[in-house]
Chain A
Amino acid sequence: MSESKIGISVIVPVGERHADPCELYAEYAAALTALGGPFELIFVLDGPQQDFAAGLRQLLDSGERFVVIGLTRAFGEATAIMAGFAHAQGEVIVTLPAYHQVAGAEVGKLLAALESNDLAIGKRWPRAGGPLERLRRWMFHGLLAWITHIRFNDLACGARAFKRRVLEEIQLYGDQHRFLAVLADRQGFRVSEVELRQSPQDRRRGVYGPREYLRGFIDIFTVFFLVRFTKKPLRFFGMIGVVLFGLGAAWTLWLVVDRLFFAQALADRPALLLSSLLLVLGLQIFALGLLGELIIFTHARGLKDYQVAEVIQFER
């Protein structure tokens, strides 16, 4: 396939954090035009975002050509990307952040990486930030790498390029846009990370409060479950359940023995409450795992654990 035939659809999900639309548009449009091929630019307004919408309206009125899709409320970035994708026509999809995160001129590098990959994700490099922030990033991505067995260095980077079929197969929802690379890798796509120059304006936020840490923690938790327990729930829940049940059973047994042979009345033992609680909790968690297995079992025909690249048979 020759480069010029590939239409590129650029999706820009516009959330709470966004730059000035005119500047942003100018930068992206210039970078994309410089690539030479035909492209379309799709802004998805995730919620009203009135200032940004007004800016886009002005640009449209002054004759610039791009698509704007307005969502009635803030659905989240992943849903905004999927909404943009529904309108995208290109074979290659690019997502770019609605604020200056990477230098717009670097988009070409992402596209070049698609020659031998299905998805290219940006990595801001060299990157600004103090040692504490670097440590935080290093820990976050290290933990993720330990869980997923694949190393990424900047999942928060909103600049990604991928082939159309990546999103056709992966339904993003919730906060999953940040894990597109992880999900794509698990789906058998070839994923690469491309170093992109960080935009000077991206340095403004160097402060990470408890909210960012909490989000990072929840992210890791999410990936952990997506990766480890969507196939064999009983291995996880069963283990916890059996341990709790065992502890509870042993403890209860001891209390009962105490009652029978040493005449220690159960009515005076609040420990009985705790031990039976453990016992019951273990059973409940185990039952949860069994339910998970039941879901997998009854849907096994739909949940394929393989991805076929192609089926070829030549005609006679």
Chain B
Amino acid sequence: MAEAPKLSIIVPFYNEEDNIRRMHAAIAAAVEPIGTSFEMVFVDDGSKDATAALALDIARHDPRVRFVRFRRNYGQTPAMAAGIEHARGEVLITMDGDLQNDPQDIREFLRQIDEGYDIVVGWRFNRQDKLVSRKIPSRIANWLIGKVTGVPIRDNGCSLKAFRASLIKQIPLYSEMHRFIPAMASMAGPRIAEIKVRHHARQFGQSKYGLSRVYKVLLDLMVIKTVASFASRPLVWFSLLALPLAALGCAALGEALWVWHGGARALPLPIAGCGVILLTSAFMLAAGGALGELVYKLGDIREQEFSQLTARRWKQA
């Protein structure tokens, strides 16, 4: 096998038989003049038309094409994730397979990476889509996503992005996170640049992505952000949840005992029982935290690895 190229361009295709040849030609035309070695990773997401056959044919004539075929249709996040997994370059560029992104922009993305950014995201500033059905919902969604993730990006939906491979290959990508890779990557504290990109209206084929599922994705994202925030210290986190319960439980139990002691009547069972329940629950939560520590220890996510990925040693002048 030829030595690993510097640049990998990852393009997922799903039923894009009209576009795949154009895409290949456009990428080749745009990247060849840059002069770095590159490969194209074409991921066929279980297309039902001739996309896979065409991709195979392209690969046969162009050894720079690495063709990853899915067993069936899995969706865009898995396609991107598979592309990232099988790419061999040091810098990875992802883009849509429908010619809406312009490969001519790749040069600028590379320049930003060379300047030291870890992630470069595109911003379709003159977006060629319908205003009411696409642009306005997307504006709202982007604002919300920025709020939830804490990574304000103007255009999460733009697939044209560049990543340092060492970083992105460590980031867990699942659910529908292809639009939120920068947010996911934020757990590693990357330097993110945002640049304007050209955007073309769709010429061929059907548009497949709507914003209808954004709320579900937002929920997922919130969950993941929460989990990511306590992943490396579950015991602390769960203990913080348990603490108020323990305090309440102690108070209730104390009150019951006090009443019993003072009044010399029978122990007020509801209050004492309530206290016992709260204390037990606090204990169970703390135990859950301990279990979480075990899970983290056995898992394959290491926070100190993340810190190393983006850390730079200062150079002396």
Chain A residues within 8 Å of B, Cβ to Cβ = 187-189, 231-232, 234, 238, 266-273, 276-277, 280, 283-284, 287-288, 290-291, 293-316
**Nearest-CB distance from A240 to chain B (Å)?**
15
Q: Which of A283, A305, A308 contacts B68 (CB 8 A)?
A: A308
Q: How many A-B residue pairs have CB under 8 A?
A: 160
Complex interface residues of chain B between 270 and 296 (CB less than 8 A to chain A): 270-271, 273-274, 277-278, 280-281, 284-285, 288, 291-292, 295-296
A residues less than 8 Å from B70 (CB atoms):
188, 306-309
Whether the Cβ atoms of B277 and A313 lie closer than 8 Å is: no
Within 8 Å of chain A (Cβ to Cβ): is B110? no
Q: Does B315 contact A (CB under 8 A)?
A: no
Known: A272-B270, A294-B230. 16 other contacts (CB 8 A): A269-B270, A271-B270, A273-B269, A287-B288, A297-B172, A297-B227, A298-B301, A301-B172, A305-B78, A306-B70, A306-B81, A311-B68, A312-B67, A313-B1, A314-B59, A315-B1
The smallest C-beta distance from A304 to any residue of chain B, in angstroms, reads 8
- Contact at B69–A298, with CB atoms within 8 Å? no
| Nearest residue, chain B, Cβ from A301 | B300
Assuming the contacts A232-B220, A287-B241, A290-B227, asked whether A313 and B292 have C-beta atoms less than 8 A apart, the reply is no
Which among A272, A280, A308 is the interface contact of B271 at CB below 8 angstroms? A272
The majority secondary structure among interface residues of chain B is helix
Residues in A whose Cβ lies below 8 Å from that of B288: 284, 287-288, 290-291
Count chain A CB atoms within 10 A of each CB in B63, B274, B284, B300 and give the residue with the most. B274
A300 near B271 with CB under 8 A, answer no
Residues 34-63 (chain B) with a chain A CB within 8 angstroms: 39, 56, 59-60, 62-63
Q: Taking the nearest CB of chain B, how far is it from the CB of A231, in angstroms?
A: 8
- Report if B307 contacts A (CB, 8 A): no
Chain A residues, Cβ within 8 Å of B170: 301
B174:A305 contact, CB within 8 angstroms = yes
A298 and B271 within 8 A (CB): no
Q: Is the pair B295, A315 in contact by a Cβ cutoff of 8 Å?
A: no
Q: Nearest residue in B to A188 (C-beta to C-beta)?
A: B71
Pull 13 A–B residue pairs with CB atoms less than 8 Å apart, ordered by A: A189-B71, A232-B220, A280-B277, A288-B288, A296-B174, A297-B231, A298-B231, A298-B299, A301-B301, A305-B74, A306-B78, A306-B79, A313-B63
Question: Which residues of the partner chain B approach A293 to less than 8 Å between Cβ atoms?
Answer: 223-224, 227
Q: Nearest chain-B residue to A278 (Cβ)?
A: B277
Cα separation A312 to B71 with both chains bound (whole Å)? 14
CA distance in complex: A268, B268 (Å): 7
CA distance A183 to B277 in the complex (A): 41
Q: Tell me whether A270 and B269 are in contact in the complex, defined as CB-CB below 8 angstroms, given that A313-B66, A314-B59 are known contacts.
A: yes
Tell me if A308 and B82 are in contact (CB < 8 A). yes
Would you call B82 and A312 a contact (CB within 8 A)? no
Nearest A-chain residue to B299, judged by Cβ: A298
List the A side residues contacting B132 at CB < 8 Å: none
Q: Bound complex: CA of A280 vs CA of B288, how far in Å?
A: 14
- With A287-B288, A312-B69, A313-B63 known as contacts, the answer to whether A300 contacts B174 (CB < 8 A) is yes
A301 → chain B, closest Cβ, in Å? 5
- Provide the residues of chain A in CB contact with B140, threshold 8 Å: none
Complex CA distance for A314 and B234, rounded to whole angstroms: 47
Contacts of A270 in B (CB 8 A): 269-270
| Contact with B292, one of A280, A291, A303 (Cβ below 8 angstroms) | A291
Q: Are B270 and A273 within 8 A (Cβ)?
A: yes
Residues of B within 8 A of A307 (CB): 70-72, 74
Contact between A298 and B277 (Cβ–Cβ < 8 Å)? no
Q: How far is the CA of A309 from the CA of B69 in the complex (A)?
A: 5
Indicate if the CB atoms of B227 and A311 lie closer than 8 Å: no
A314 to chain B, nearest CB (A): 5
B277→A276 contact, CB < 8 A: yes
* A313 and chain B: residue at smallest CB distance: B66
Q: Which of B67, B174, B226, B228 has the most chain A CB atoms inside 10 A of its CB?
A: B174
Given contacts A284-B285, A295-B295, contact A300 B172 (CB under 8 A): yes
Contacts of A288 in B (CB 8 A): 288
